[in-house]
Amino acid sequence: MRYWKALLIACLLGFAAMSLAKIGESETKPVRVALVKMPYVGERNVPDTSRGPDYLEEGGIRKLLEQQGVQVAPTDAVRLTADEEKAYGSWNHLALAAGDMAKIVAEERRKGDLPIGLLANCNGLLGMLSGLQHSGPTAKPLRVGMVFIDAHGDFNTPETTLSGMLGGMPVAIAAGQCLTRMRMKAGLEPAIPTKHIVEVCVRDTDPLEQELLDRSEIQQLTLEDVRTRSANLHREMKRLSELTDVIYVHVDMDGLDPSEVAGVALPVPNGPTSAELAAALTEMFKYEKVGAFGVAAMPYDDRDKTGISRKAAYNLILGAVKGVEERKSD
């Protein structure tokens, strides 16, 4: 009898030790990140691709992430096929590239990685959103939300734009307000309901664009919300978490204060510092539904001679990953 009792105790102790080991293993399991470079620009009368994504990677973001204990997958880079390269039109090339990017993002997310898009400009968000939309366990599209951090609303349409820049339209395209063929070719179907979109630190819009924003259900957060990580910020993250299956967080570098990104094409005063925005990103990425991050419009080479803009972008990426790490430890 004593033998069987001792054996039972030994088995129970062994089981407990194994359980504790598994708990410890799950607690220390590292965050896994996949860097995805999207160089296609989509603008007319300029080169098809930008060096910005390469420049952003070359400064050592992989090493910085690995020093934080993050597992970083081999970098994916979007490249058009030979047949796609032959297709006519810069907008068409952008749509095709976004569709290719979506497949990469969906696959990385299914592996359990956090896709981080290194994007030529904000047009790359079409591929990020499409990839998340089709990253679920079945063919049924997931409900996607977006937190869009930018100095500009990017909610123009071909009818409202003053400049004709496609880079001023991607949020409107994603929301089904215009250029349906481009959205469909990118694989983003259905469009993102405007109530699933939150814009942050927007402070420069065109008059007709502002009218469209005012008529939409897009919610706005301010610089003060970022600086204080306010109750408003958490309210919107909770709201998106309830409405959607997965959330994409997107940053245009011109959303930051020009003191850190002097080389951006369209600087706008009164933005957050990278430290302030990184702290806000950490809070956002604590929410389980947040599934990807994108950094767009990186000033590069001679436009970032001191490297301050690249350092600012790294602060943002590390801030986002910190949020995921803190999510796992809660």
Give the pLDDT confidence of 258-296 residue by residue, as tens digits: 999 989 999 999 999 999 999 999 999 999 999 999 999
At 174 the pLDDT is 98
Instruction: Name the amino acid, one letter, at 77.
Output: A
> Which pTM does this prediction carry?
0.91
Q: Give exposure, 274-310, as e/b (b: 16+ Cβ within 10 Å).
A: bebbbbbbbbbbbbebbbbbbbbbbbbeeebeeebbb
| Distance, CA of 275 to CA of 71 (rounded, Å) | 23
Domain map of the chain by residue range? Answer: 31-329
- Segments of the chain with pLDDT less than 70: 1-28, 328-330
Q: C-alpha 71: how far from its chain's center?
A: 18
At 38 the pLDDT is 98
At 27 the pLDDT is 55
At 106 the pLDDT is 98
Non-local CB neighbours of 12 within 8 Å, separated by 6+ positions? none
At 29 the pLDDT is 85
> What is the residue-wise DSSP string for 156-182?
--TTT-SS--GGG-HHHHHTTSS-HHH
Query: Regarding the domain delimited by 31-329, which CATH topology (the fold level of the hierarchy) does it fall under?
Result: Arginase; Chain A (3.40.800)
Closest CA to 319 of 289, 287, 261, 275: 275
At 240 the pLDDT is 98
